A and B are shown apart, each in its own frame.
Chain A
Amino acid sequence: MSLNGQSKIPQILKNHEAEVLADWLGEQMAAGIRKDLLKEIELREECREFLELFTDAIQQGNLTNIQSTEWRSVREMLTSVSRTRTQKGFTPTETANFVFSFKQPLFKRLRQELGQNGEALVEEILSASNLIDKLGLWTTEIYQKTREEVILRQQEELMELSTPVVKLWEGILALPIIGTLDSARTQIMMESLLEMIVQTGSQVAIIDITGVPTVDTLTAQHLLKTVTAARLMGADCIISGIRPQIAQTIVYLGVDLADITTKASLADAFVLALKRSGFAIARSKPTI
């Protein structure tokens, strides 16, 4: 907080809006803003908007907590700046610099206006610096979140690709599942399995969960739903690859899989599926 809790910054910003804006733009151009990614006119507009919202917010007197309602518009504005820059390919530093580069022009103005009063100047600069650091960190946080969202989306796309339903034999499908069985992905898998059942007129579908590390009640529920839906389409499901420790855990959880045929391995499940479909396996030549 500044002297008597009354900062001079809002007034100074109002009186010198045009100069501060020009200085700030100059600062960013000099630092080598990515003109290939962002037009100068867009940058100017972003700066102008930030300055306006910043002045409004700081006027409310809260210079310490940027999570408060006074700062909501500034946060939203920075969120959108940060998101667009992330998508355009700016680095985290370049993105955060939008805010950090505001220090120089602001401090310069403060020095000019408060130069006489050293104590006030120091205090104003310290609190403004703190405030801008927080806003800078905020843009970095949003940058990171946006990156995470992009990665998550890519993972989801990958998931869709990596859940192939394969035809093992006439009338026998297999769905080998690898990874976690959470809702979004299960939905996709279930749909593609049902689609394939219809397309191929299969009577047996093997769901192999060897590659699923954890089976909890949600996973079990998804499996039960899939089996029920397949049944309605006229296909029986066999679940294979339930490792002993998972089988035991399911029992403790109290989930009832009694209605479902299970087999230890995909090979066992396949043999059973063949048998059910009326095929028999025999060696063509006896081996010694």
Chain B
Amino acid sequence: MQKNEIISINSSSDVVLVRQAVRQFAVELAFSLINQTKIVTGASELARNTLEHGGGGTVNIEALDRGTRRGLRLTFEDSGPGIPDIELALKDGFTTGNGLGMGLSGTKRLVNEFEIVSRVGEGTRITITKWK
């Protein structure tokens, strides 16, 4: 199967495309239905954040094959305003927009690995990994 795919995120129809691509990767990796749903939902959250808070960016979708361990890694990148206080951004209900403020924290609970690198004025990179 294809090992990775990069999709740019510049409109809400791109968010739909990201969800579809991630679902396809998860299906090809034979993820269980629940794990498919979890990673697709996480992808949807982060893609929308990239669009709405990061001013657009990209996602790199990678299929990981570590012998017996297979998984899916998504790296969202933007050159937006950055997140000044990551701990605060990860609090349930915290939002600087009109959202529910559950996207980041919720996504963290949906995946196995979650990493944020962000610099104010430079941008944000969020990497999530879901093992099969």
CA distance A246 to B36 in the complex (A): 10
Does chain B have a CB within 8 A of A180?
Answer: yes
Query: Quick one: which of B1-53 are within 8 Å of A by CB?
Result: 12-13, 15-16, 19, 23, 33-34, 36-38, 40-41, 44-45, 48
User: Which residues from chain A sit less than 8 Å from chain B, CB to CB?
Assistant: 152, 180, 182-184, 213-218, 220-221, 244-246, 248-249, 252-255
Does chain A have a CB within 8 A of B110?
Answer: yes
> How many residues in B have their beta carbons less than 8 Å from beta carbons of A?
26
CA distance A246 to B105 in the complex (A): 17
CA distance A180 to B40 in the complex (A): 13
A-B contact count (CB 8 A): 67
Does chain A have a CB within 8 A of B70?
Answer: no
**Cβ-closest chain B residue relative to A216:** B44
| A245 close to B37 (CB less than 8 A) | yes
| B103 close to A180 (CB less than 8 A) | no
Q: How far is the CB of B103 from chain A (nearest CB, A)?
A: 5
The interface residues of chain A, by DSSP majority, are classed as helix
**Cβ-closest chain B residue relative to A251:** B109
| A152 close to B106 (CB less than 8 A) | no
> B12 to chain A: which residues have CB within 8 Å?
182-184
Residue of B15, B23, B40, B103 touching A217 (CB-CB under 8 A): B103
CA distance A214 to B23 in the complex (A): 10
| A180 close to B48 (CB less than 8 A) | no
